[in-house]
Structure 1
Amino acid sequence: MYTKMNFVHISSRALSVTQHPVSSRALGLALGVALDAAFADPRRGHPVAFFGRAAAALERRLYGDARANGVAHVAILVGSATALGVAAEKAPPVARTLLTAAATWAVLGGTSLAREGEHMAGHLESGDLGAARERLPHLCGRDPSHLEAPELARATIESVAENTSDAVVAPLFWGAVAGVPGLLAYRAINTLDAMVGHRSPRYERFGWAAARTDDVANYLPARLTGLITVAAAPDRRNALAVLRRDGHRHPSPNSGRCEAAFAGGLGITLGGTNVYGTRVEHRPELGDGRKPEVGDIRRAVRLARRVCLGAAAVAVTVAALRGLTNARRR
């Protein structure tokens, strides 16, 4: 017979599970994903922007044309973000859940990424090349001044593919694995790479640590992105084939996995010549389909949204299972 004592016993066990750090983590991740879907990134006052200003200020004090200076820059900033996350993990269960949700919202960029892709699609569909060229720097760093519609479409799709990993899958991966410290540390690493990790005379040595740390932090998430893309793609078989054949051909150890899976899944070919200011890069082609067209941008955005949902489901499930397992051991 189901008695009041049974109810109390079951309720006590359920409460002990929800109070476990990893269960708080699962709920916090889910809430953070929902917040990103509902509110995206604010135009002003974003926490990552505050971090960027702090990173720029520290750069002015530490800069030197040497790898050691860059290592110190990364260590101080990533270490500070990680320490803040460790402090958040020590909060009581409800507060820890809310802090996890806030951190997840702050580091995710999937909704904003999809909106940028849709803005580019709208400009190109209406034939407004000027507006599309002005908008492209919101997505990537290549020079848009001489790009026509097909190349603008390719740049947009490649950026959507790469940033689906950087803005969604990677932070959720590290959030599931390491909670708030993982979320904040990853976003710090990725932001520093965007700020100083690119190739230029100023950052060739100083930015080395930021670029290499970002490569390491994205190694597993990029490959997970490729696999989730295969599962979510319109053409799963071709997505897997192109991922296996071409994923390693990109100059980045990680970006190629994402772009190859998108290329195969959408039946297009990505890669080619890219211009970044005065620097020209000739990248290998990924895929064996036709060249991208304007209409493919919305297809890429839809695929990116499915990958984001898949990554969220995986992250929340992993965190929840870890919470249940650890609670049973206790």
Structure 2
Amino acid sequence: MSEVTAVCVLLIAVVLDGVLGDPPNSLHPVAWMGRFVGWGRKRSRATKNSIRFLQGCAVFACGAVIVATVGVLIQIACRQFPHWFALLVQAAVLKSTFSVRSLAGAAGSVAEALSNEDLNTARHQVAYHLVSRDVTTLDASQLSAATIESVAENTSDSFIAPLFYFVVAGLPGALLYRFVNTADAMLGYRTHELEWFGKPAAKIDDLLNLIPSRLTALVMLMIYGAYVRRTNPAIAIWWRDHSLTASPNAGHPMSAAAGVLGIVLEKQDHYRLGEGQPLPGIQSLQQSIAMLWTTAIAAVVLSVAGLLMWRTL
């Protein structure tokens, strides 16, 4: 894929996401990835941790090879198509690896429910779309915080990381990243059943997100931080708090978001980012959606520049 073709594929994919959003689950490649991971999980009946780990490695490796191979075959097949059709096919596949519109919509639905003082609907939206934690006792500020945390983390996981791996390795790279992240989301829990089975996916996901999570934080700080004139205090908060989360990566975009939005983001008994700042409210939540779009636009510009530079090296 030439650099010009790659840029066109990226830009068309971004337009498709902005205009159409996500396809139905029956047509969504990420849903197919999830079904494969679920199929592998159901067939793991081992009682020994060592066997669970090996089974997890096998399922993860098979899925990764299949997904990367599909990406390679799509790129090869598209050489035989008319150029305009090849661009659309590859753009549609790339679009399936990321989503900004759906993330912004989920956060917006929470903001709307909170604006209407409808906590039950807000809790449902947060639990259904954004987080896996128990939300039944969260108040409006805590729901806002949970939503902002998810927006910040998924700005990296659901947008900047797939774009980064598309720049580095084309469609196979973007699809492989999406499979790894999907497997981690389904298996990366420290429960008796999943801790060892899901460990391969969790560790590789940590590795693949090392660079994108930090890039996301830097873009938030430099672009949105400059827009709201909070770059310097936000950098200080990011530097101080990025290591407070259990994940080696999630703390970077989340602490950067706490800094540029000027708020505290707390998950009780786990972390507290932005200590010394006020608790978030509806306005902070709405600002986080603006932060998402601003960061996404900046990431597209940087990705186009990266493609033009990377492919010519």
> What is the TM-score with the length of structure 2 in the denominator?
0.91
1:32–1:105: 8 Å Cα contact kept in structure 2?
yes
2:168–2:310: 8 Å Cα contact kept in structure 1?
no
- Map of 1:142 onto structure 2: 133
CA distance in 2 between partners of 1:285 and 1:26 (Å): 37
- Map of 1:54 onto structure 2: 36
Question: Cα distance, 1:107 vs. partner?
Answer: 0.9
Tell me which of 33, 39, 54 is aligned to 1:68: 54
Summarize the Cα distance change of 1:251–1:292 in structure 2 as closer, same or farther, 3 Å threshold: same
SS at the partner of 2:196?
Answer: helix
CA distance in 1 between partners of 2:274 and 2:67 (Å): 36
CA distance in 1 between partners of 2:259 and 2:253 (Å): 10
CA distance in 1 between partners of 2:5 and 2:305 (Å): 12
Residue 264, structure 1, aligned to residue 259, structure 2: yes
1:81–1:185: 8 Å Cα contact kept in structure 2?
yes
CA distance in 1 between partners of 2:185 and 2:112 (Å): 26
Residue 114, structure 1, aligned to residue 100, structure 2: no
Q: Runs of 5+ in structure 1 lacking a partner?
A: 1-19, 274-280
Summarize the Cα distance change of 1:23–1:322 in structure 2 as closer, same or farther, 3 Å threshold: farther
Residue 288, structure 1, aligned to residue 279, structure 2: no
CA distance in 1 between partners of 2:86 and 2:44 (Å): 34
Amino acid at match of 1:133: R
- Map of 1:303 onto structure 2: 291
2:265–2:279: 8 Å Cα contact kept in structure 1?
yes
Residue 180, structure 1, aligned to residue 171, structure 2: yes
Amino acid at match of 1:227: L
- Map of 1:162 onto structure 2: 153
Residue 24, structure 1, aligned to residue 5, structure 2: yes
Render the CA deviation track for 1:269-291: whole Å, top value 9, x for unaligned.
11240xxxxxxx42243353111
SS at the partner of 1:253?
Answer: coil
SS at the partner of 1:140?
Answer: coil
Q: CA RMSD in A?
A: 1.6
CA distance in 2 between partners of 1:102 and 1:42 (Å): 10
Tell me which of 236, 239, 248 is aligned to 1:253: 248
CA distance in 1 between partners of 2:196 and 2:135 (Å): 27
> What is the TM-score with the length of structure 1 in the denominator?
0.86
Question: Cα distance, 1:293 vs. partner?
Answer: 1.3
Residue 33, structure 1, aligned to residue 23, structure 2: no
Percent identity between matched residues is 34
Q: Rg bigger for which structure?
A: 1
Amino acid at match of 2:277: G
- Map of 1:82 onto structure 2: 68
Question: Cα distance, 1:96 vs. partner?
Answer: 4.8
Render the CA deviation track for 1:137-171: whole Å, top value 9, x for unaligned.
21010111111111111111111111110110000
SS at the partner of 1:271?
Answer: strand
Question: Cα distance, 1:63 vs. partner?
Answer: 5.1
CA distance in 2 between partners of 1:215 and 1:207 (Å): 12
Question: Cα distance, 1:98 vs. partner?
Answer: 3.0
